[in-house]
């Protein structure tokens, strides 16, 4: 998750070769010459009032601008349509002619209106003007149930009685595209509320039982203005030059210390790996339940109430953006994977290294692999296209993260971290791009890894690995197959052999479609199983992922065809082969539930619970609650509903439906 949301890019229609050449030349020229700026914003002053009880936002934006051309006649900005512009005036209080019309949305999930302001006279070059736009309206998104989609809508920005969370893409202030400017924000809120927004807090004051906060920021991008406000309690800690502050609702008081402690731990983990970030503060800010997940901002991280718990979900990813996104930024589009992929990688790196044992570590990485590859390993858009076309998020998050994980495997941890640190230094405070990243990796590793990046970033297929082997004359001989790759594609892979006496590992480098191997066995030793890439180091399909897909398809078939008896041994064989895999166990649990064997299903989910910490804990608790509900055991249902909700999940709609069920139980009793 991030504050950055891609704009759609429409493909250009091309008919003739000559046209293509002309277009390419024009594009190159446009890129080479900086675009002529029509005007600069010399100061942006935003004076707002939040009226929670009415879900209302009142604003007055004072925009000082300087024309960079002769004959500047007008200005336009975007605003949420529910916020009506009341007046636009110049510095002498003369009204200016303006229009406000609803237009096609410029950001996903965000209604848009376009406000055009006509100046009373044309501005000449270097001439300055001050424009004051007053606007007001309901700024509220309900997070209610959508029967058509059968899910709860998320409130991407809202003023509720409990809190206000105002995100730039929801156009809560006059948004003028592609500008950078000094900013002052003055925000009036109920007296017990606190405001957190961009910049430094300059002053606070009381006025008619309201509180006023004034913030100043030297320079900010016009798309980066966030504001959070609520009746917060807070706690801060300074470590060296770094400040951590947590702002929570009063009932989450007990979480302040653990969150600060965890943030400190994660910061130090990343700093040791990657070096120091540019940023010197990180705020964690609770926002309303209706937002459903978390959002990054230049000054910290907003997190929905139901995700504040002692598993600290989302936090490792968001802290990683201090490095990937803040210290090094990128141009979005094709390069989105650089900050989202690296942040997701950092998150999984942290979680897998902190996992209490090998099993938990494997489960963390399998969870990532499972999200990186859709069922059946179909051809997809490439990672770069995924970023550019605003396609399925998994391409720039989980798949890109696993590309980075695979790079780590290829280079070895030491060289890999050296490359990441060099990338951070090369682009510190600047915008990086994919070519720049590859160049740094090639230069640090003294290797040409273009074959690797071409395949994993520009291709839509992923390798599929299989192994065939037999024991002959005191040796295990076999072939490792690598499908869906070009001839020159080579990958070192670990094979784990399980025998009647021991388990041992060997490295095999496979180039192109296959590689034969032969390893000595001890006397009387027989290989019962060979696992490819047992630690999930390589982005590709191996046995475990295939077993998980097979388990799913068996369970779905059983649910549909009711041929439980025939499929049971097949499903159980997969589960026995992968006894610690929560994903496969989940299918077994569902298999029992489909037969209304509630107790047996509950037993399976209890086993998943014993794997803690695990991504599946919430799902297991929710499933146990559902089983008790169907068994008619309200007491146990309530017990597990409460446990599931305490655990929390970013699966917002499921969380909300569990809350409804719990409310209903409370009403009944």
Sign of torsion over alpha carbons 363, 365, 366, 368: positive
Closest C-alpha among 639, 617, 619, 618 to residue 628? 639
Structure tokens at 660: 């409804």
Q: Which is nearer to Zn ion, 340 or 363 (CB)?
A: 340
Q: Which is nearer to Zn ion, 59 or 316 (CB)?
A: 316
Strands (E), 198-253: 200-207, 210-221, 227-230, 233-239, 242-248
Q: Which is nearer to Zn ion, 343 or 407 (CB)?
A: 343
CB of 321 to Zn ion, least distance (A): 6
- How buried is 494 (Cβ within 10 angstroms: 0-12 exposed, 13-18 middle, 19+ buried)? middle
Q: Which is nearer to Zn ion, 26 or 109 (CB)?
A: 109
Assign residue 58 a region: left if phi > 0, alpha if psi is -120 to 50, beta otherwise?
A: beta
DSSP helix/strand/coil, 49: strand
What's CA 76's distance to the chain center, in Å?
32
CB of 278 to Zn ion, least distance (A): 17
Helices (H) and strands (E) in the chain, counts: 17, 29
Distance separating alpha carbons of residues 281 and 4, to the nearest angstrom? 19
Q: Which is nearer to Zn ion, 3 or 469 (CB)?
A: 3
CB of 325 to Zn ion, least distance (A): 7
CB of 368 to Zn ion, least distance (A): 14
Q: Does 329 bind Zn ion (CB under 5 A)?
A: no
Q: Which is nearer to Zn ion, 1 or 530 (CB)?
A: 1
Q: Which is nearer to Zn ion, 2 or 445 (CB)?
A: 2
Q: Which is nearer to Zn ion, 340 or 587 (CB)?
A: 340
Assign residue 583 a region: left if phi > 0, alpha if psi is -120 to 50, beta otherwise?
A: alpha
Q: Kindly provide the b/e burial profile for residues 547-567, where b requires at least 16 CB atoms within 10 angstroms of the residue's own CB.
A: bbbbbbebbebbeeeeebeeb
H-run or E-run covering 504: strand 503-511
Paired sense of beta strands 431-432 and 329-330, if any: parallel
Length of the chain in terms of residues written: 669
Which segment (49-57, 333-341, 528-536, 610-618) binds Zn ion by CB under 5 A? 333-341
Closest C-alpha among 606, 603, 597 to residue 631? 597
CB of 167 to Zn ion, least distance (A): 14
Q: Which is nearer to Zn ion, 57 or 396 (CB)?
A: 396
CB of 247 to Zn ion, least distance (A): 20
CB of 78 to Zn ion, least distance (A): 24
Angle at 223 between CA 218 and CA 224, to 5 degrees: 55
CB of 397 to Zn ion, least distance (A): 7
CB of 3 to Zn ion, least distance (A): 9
> At a CB cut-off of 8 Å and minimum separation 6, what does 211 contact?
188, 189, 190, 191, 192, 193, 195, 204, 205
**What is the pattern of x (binds Zn ion, CB under 5 A) and - over residues 225-264?**
----------------------------------------
Q: Which is nearer to Zn ion, 1 or 287 (CB)?
A: 1
Tokens 């009036």, located at residue: 188
Scanning residues 334 to 393, which ones bind Zn ion (CB under 5 A)? 340, 343
Q: Please select the residue that binds Zn ion; options are 2, 297, 377, 445, rule is CB under 5 A.
A: 2
> At a CB cut-off of 8 Å and minimum separation 6, what does 388 contact?
9, 333, 334
CB of 270 to Zn ion, least distance (A): 14
Distance separating alpha carbons of residues 597 and 587, to the nearest angstrom? 14
CB of 43 to Zn ion, least distance (A): 31
CB of 600 to Zn ion, least distance (A): 39
Distance separating alpha carbons of residues 155 and 308, to the nearest angstrom? 18
Structure tokens at 97: 């002619």
Q: Which is nearer to Zn ion, 159 or 338 (CB)?
A: 338
CB of 444 to Zn ion, least distance (A): 25
Number of residues that bind Zn ion (CB under 5 A): 4
> At a CB cut-off of 8 Å and minimum separation 6, what does 633 contact?
none
Phi, psi of 634 (to 5 degrees): -70, -35
CB of 317 to Zn ion, least distance (A): 6
Q: Which is nearer to Zn ion, 39 or 337 (CB)?
A: 337
Residue nearest to Zn ion (CB): 2
Scanning residues 35 to 74, which ones bind Zn ion (CB under 5 A)? none
Q: Which is nearer to Zn ion, 332 or 343 (CB)?
A: 343
CB of 349 to Zn ion, least distance (A): 15
Cα distances from 104 to residues 7, 112, 154, 176, 588, in angstroms, run 12, 6, 21, 16, 47
CB of 323 to Zn ion, least distance (A): 12
Phi, psi of 120 (to 5 degrees): -70, -30
Closest C-alpha among 236, 244, 214 to residue 227? 214
Structure tokens at 575: 């589960």
Q: Which is nearer to Zn ion, 1 or 169 (CB)?
A: 1
Q: DSSP letters of 260-308?
A: HHHHHHHHHHHHHHH---S--EEEEEEE-GGG-SEEEETTEEEEEGGG-
Distance separating alpha carbons of residues 643 and 618, to the nearest angstrom? 8
Which segment (1-9, 255-263, 350-358, 578-586) binds Zn ion by CB under 5 A? 1-9
Q: Which is nearer to Zn ion, 115 or 401 (CB)?
A: 401
Scanning residues 487 to 526, which ones bind Zn ion (CB under 5 A)? none
Q: Which is nearer to Zn ion, 343 or 373 (CB)?
A: 343
Phi, psi of 481 (to 5 degrees): -100, 140
Which residues bind to Zn ion, rule: CB under 5 A? 1-2, 340, 343
């Amino acid at each position: 998750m991030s504050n950055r949301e891609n704009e759609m890019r429409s493909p250009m229609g091309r008919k003739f070769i000559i046209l293509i050449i002309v277009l390419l030349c024009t594009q190159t020229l446009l890129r080479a010459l900086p675009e002529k700026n029509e005007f600069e914003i010399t100061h942006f002053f935003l004076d707002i009032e939040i009226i929670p009880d009415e879900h209302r936002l009142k604003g007055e934006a004072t925009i000082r601008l300087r024309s960079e051309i002769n004959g500047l006649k007008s200005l336009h900005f975007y605003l949420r349509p529910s916020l009506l512009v009341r007046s636009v005036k110049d510095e002498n209080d003369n009204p200016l002619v303006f229009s406000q019309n609803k237009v096609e949305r410029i950001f996903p999930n965000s209604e848009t209106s376009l406000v055009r302001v006509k100046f009373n006279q044309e501005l000449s070059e270097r001439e300055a003007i001050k424009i004051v736009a007053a606007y007001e309206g309901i700024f509220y998104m309900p997070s209610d149930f959508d029967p058509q989609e059968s899910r709860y809508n998320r409130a991407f920005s809202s003023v509720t009685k409990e809190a206000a969370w105002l995100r730039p893409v929801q156009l809560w202030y006059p948004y003028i595209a592609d500008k950078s400017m000094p900013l002052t924000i003055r925000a009036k809120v109920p007296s017990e509320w606190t405001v957190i927004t961009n910049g430094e807090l300059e002053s606070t004051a009381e006025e008619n039982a309201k509180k006023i906060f004034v913030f100043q920021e030297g320079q900010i991008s016009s798309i980066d203005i966030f504001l959070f406000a609520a009746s917060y309690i807070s706690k801060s800690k300074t470590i060296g030059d770094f400040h951590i502050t947590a702002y929570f609702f009063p009932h989450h008081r007990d979480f302040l210390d653990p969150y600060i402690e965890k943030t400190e731990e994660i910061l130090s983990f990343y700093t040791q790996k990657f070096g120091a970030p540019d940023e010197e503060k990180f705020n964690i800010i609770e926002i309303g339940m209706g937002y459903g997940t978390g959002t990054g901002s230049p000054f910290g991280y907003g997190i929905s109430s139901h995700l504040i718990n002692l598993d600290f979900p989302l936090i490792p990813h968001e802290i990683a953006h201090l490095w990937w996104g803040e210290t090094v930024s990128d141009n979005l589009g094709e390069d989105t994977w650089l900050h989202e992929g690296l942040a997701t990688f950092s998150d999984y790196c942290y979680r897998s290294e902190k996992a209490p044992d090998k099993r938990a570590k494997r489960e963390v990485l399998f969870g990532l692999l499972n999200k990186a590859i859709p069922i059946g390993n179909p051809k997809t858009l490439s990672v770069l296209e995924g970023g550019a076309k605003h396609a399925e998020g998994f391409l720039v998050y989980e798949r890109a993260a696993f590309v980075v994980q695979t790079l780590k495997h290829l280079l070895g941890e030491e060289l890999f971290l050296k490359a990441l640190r060099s990338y951070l230094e090369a682009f510190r405070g600047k915008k990086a791009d994919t070519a720049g990243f590859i160049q740094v990796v090639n230069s640090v590793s003294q290797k040409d890894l273009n074959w690797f990046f071409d395949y994993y970033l520009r291709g839509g297929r992923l390798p599929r690995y299989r192994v065939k082997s037999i024991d002959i004359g005191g040796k295990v001989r076999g072939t490792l197959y690598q499908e869906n790759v070009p001839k020159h594609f080579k990958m070192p892979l670990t094979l784990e052999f399980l025998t009647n006496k021991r388990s041992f590992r060997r490295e095999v480098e496979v180039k192109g479609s296959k590689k034969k191997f032969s390893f000595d066995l001890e006397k009387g030793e027989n290989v019962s199983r060979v696992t490819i890439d047992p630690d999930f180091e390589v982005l590709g399909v191996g046995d475990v992922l295939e077993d998980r897909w097979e388990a799913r398809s068996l369970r779905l078939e059983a649910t549909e065809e009711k041929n439980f008896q025939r499929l049971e041994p097949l499903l159980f064989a997969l589960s026995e082969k992968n006894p610690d895999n929560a994903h496969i166990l989940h299918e077994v649990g569902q298999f029992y539930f489909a037969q209304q064997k509630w107790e047996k299903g509950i037993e399976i989910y209890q086993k998943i619970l014993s794997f803690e910490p695990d991504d599946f804990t919430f799902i297991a608790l929710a499933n146990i609650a559902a089983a008790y509900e169907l068994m008619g055991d309200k007491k146990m249902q309530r017990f597990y509903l409460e446990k599931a909700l305490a655990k929390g999940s970013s699966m917002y709609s499921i969380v909300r439906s569990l809350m409804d069920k719990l409310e209903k139980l409370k009403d009944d009793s």
